[in-house]
Amino acid sequence: MLALVKKPRIEISLQGENVEELIEWISKKFEVSILTPDNFESIAVEDTDFWKEMQSNRIGNLLSAARIKANMTQAQLAEQLEIRQNMISDYERGKRRLSPSMAKRIAKILKIKVDRIS
């Protein structure tokens, strides 16, 4: 049996004797859902809303992740590129398209391969 505590998020796999008694005890403090083959649906990650949202702004999400990994703020990256910070924000939110030349400049500063963000 798989039990799911919604807040805080905890997944527990239970087998053996007195499982129902343990679930009853946990349920006194937390909201618990029991997942069984009848009420558990497995779907491909590509079909989730999360995946679709991430793909809709793939370049912006990759740029944001690369910048954060480089331990830089949008303002710091913008300063090195000699552009306004709101342009970096626009790139990351998908509001502005990243040109090939700007992608090269950003990749050089972030020390990543340009194909990571193009």
Residue 74: domain span? 49-116
**Based on the domain organization, do 55 and 95 belong to the same domain?**
yes
**Based on the domain organization, do 102 and 64 belong to the same domain?**
yes
Is the whole-model pTM more than 0.85? Answer: no
* Rounded Cα–Cα distance for residues 71 and 68 (Å): 5
pLDDT (tens digit per residue) in 37-88: 676 677 788 888 888 888 888 999 999 999 999 999 999 999 999 999 999 9
**Based on the domain organization, do 53 and 107 belong to the same domain?**
yes
Strand ordering across the sheet containing 32-35: 10-13, 2-5, 32-35
**Based on the domain organization, do 58 and 88 belong to the same domain?**
yes
Quick check: 90 pLDDT over 80?
yes
How confident is the model at residue 1, as a pLDDT?
57
**Based on the domain organization, do 58 and 23 belong to the same domain?**
no
Say if 43 falls within a structural domain.
Answer: no
**Based on the domain organization, do 25 and 83 belong to the same domain?**
no
pLDDT (tens digit per residue) in 9-25: 777 788 888 888 988 89
**Based on the domain organization, do 16 and 54 belong to the same domain?**
no
